[in-house]
Amino acid sequence: MSIVVTGATGRLGRLVIDALLDQGVPASGIAAVVRDKAKAADLAERGVELRIADYSRPETLAGAFTAGDRVLLISGSEVGQRVPQHAAVISAAKAAGVAQLAYTGILGGPEADFELAAEHRATEELILGSGLPYTLLRNGWYTENYTEHLAPVLEHGAVVANAGEGRVASAARADYAAAAAAVLTGEAERHLGRAYELSGDVAWSFAEYAAEVARQSGEPVTYEDVPAGTHLDILTGAGVPEPFAAILVDVDRAIGRGRLSATSGDLARLIGRPTTPLADSVARALRQR
């Protein structure tokens, strides 16, 4: 039996493995499901078992899991292809007889009514219908979704969005990774059959975010709330492919409706500490520029 992390060379996957090791799980008890063995060489050097498989090639998933494994299915990154990809993983996990399938969905679950959430809702339905022992990790927004893109903010002196006065209860990606590790290492009975609404302790507005960036950088930064169509034009003009730009604009609309502002406290309870404050994430991003 192993703790298995799919998508293990992604940013979240690597942080989950770090968190597992930090919690004292021996590397020999962790398996990383990856597409590219070369990209996972550093994990192998740390003693983590590599299992080579691809969400898009169901035949490769046959050896990805074994009976009794506790599995984290990290949602795929290919929007529009994720439902069949996730279905293949769920089918392989069921065939193997895993003891737990945890899935990184999206805050709100079935109540999340924006386009990006549709594949997560469909995946949750597949998991529930599979009969597998499950844990649903409904992740809110990563603060890094914003702080990793500070360069244009500072260049133009503006945080641009079409979210109105909506608020975002974001947390650092490492916070969500720690929660996943806690669910995979804790007593299974506590977590099976549960859905956790994971988000930061404090919801912030874009005006507050802009003010924080300005305070720490010493540069003038303001929030520009623009119409959805204008935001779409700005994103595509900056080189964002139009289909993905449309998804980002739709997310901002959802933020304006309050869909990413919930603060249940589930994340802090799972990790046993407060979630990472917005100011800390901004400071880290500025240091890494």
pTM value is 0.96
Q: Please, are residues 252 and 223 in contact by the beta-carbon 8 Å criterion?
A: no
Q: What is the pLDDT of residues 82-119, one digit of tens each?
A: 999 999 999 999 999 999 999 999 999 999 999 999 99
- The fraction of the chain above a pLDDT of 70, given in percent, is 100
Per the prediction, the chain carries an average pLDDT of 96
Domains plus CATH for the chain?
Answer: 3-140+172-197 (3.40.50.720)
pLDDT in tens, 177-234: 999 999 999 887 899 999 999 999 999 999 999 999 999 999 999 999 999 999 999 9
Q: Calculate mean pLDDT across residues 160-175.
A: 98
Which pLDDT belongs to residue 68? 96
